[in-house]
Amino acid sequence: MTIELVPLKGVVIDSKEINFNDNSDKIIESLGEPEYRQESDKTIKLFYYSNELRFDINKENNKLEFIEFLGGYEGKLKPILYGVNVFSTLADELVNIIEKHDMNVLSEDDISKVFINSSISLWRELTPTIYENEIKASDYSNEEIEAFKQRALRWERVGIGYKGYFDYLNKKI
């Protein structure tokens, strides 16, 4: 399966284009019924591929607003962004690649990065610092420690939104 993230536009999955402002019917027509569906007052979330892919749809206007890949390094889905596999590429290298397209970046303790102009978000629970301070000195097996190390070196989630999706963050600064 080939998956290409197209910032500010959407995603292409095996030649099927899903664009921001598409409605839920278009997504279902392209990918079939979701494996899981979650609704809140403002959002409909459609989950696919063993919950590794989520589409957020504005409930009021039924338009796609945000796409997030949740599987990380250990997942089956391998989205491509700017020519590289998001989850195989080392975290710092991926940030450098994205910064060539968008230098307006907000960061939270190396756990998350949001690229405002391109509406891209990166997130991880485990950073190299957490790995060094907490995991490495624990009672985990060598195999588990190596798995944690590999996770710490990469991003666990990548999301993209429509143009202006993260503008509210700029206003908080």
Q: What average pLDDT does range 54-72 have in this prediction? A: 97
- CA separation for the pair 19, 62 (Å, rounded): 13
Do residues 37 and 43 make contact, with C-beta atoms less than 8 angstroms apart?
Answer: no
| 3 state DSSP class of 6 | strand
Distance between CA 106 and CA 85 in Å, rounded? 22
Closest to 11 measured CA to CA, from 74, 58, 96, 68: 68
- For residues 163 and 173, the model is more confident at 163
d(CA 81, CA 12): 11
Asked if residues 120 and 105 have their Cβ atoms less than 8 Å apart, the reply is no
What confidence score (pLDDT) does residue 161 get? Answer: 98
Spatial contact of 65 and 161, defined as CB atoms under 8 Å apart: yes
Q: Say if residue 171's pLDDT is above 80.
A: no
pLDDT tens digits, 131-143: 877 776 778 888 8
Question: In the predicted model, what is the mean pLDDT of residues 71-92?
Answer: 96
What sign has the CA pseudo-torsion 88, 89, 90, 92? negative
pLDDT tens sequence across 94-103:
999 999 999 9
The answer to whether residues 20 and 63 touch, using CB atoms and an 8 Å cutoff, is yes
Closest CA to 27 of 19, 38, 15, 36: 19
How many C-beta atoms lie closer than 10 Å to residue 162's C-beta? 20
Confidence of residue 144 (pLDDT cuts 50, 70, 90): confident
Copy the structure tokens of residue 5: 């993230």
Q: Bridge partners of 58? A: 43, 63
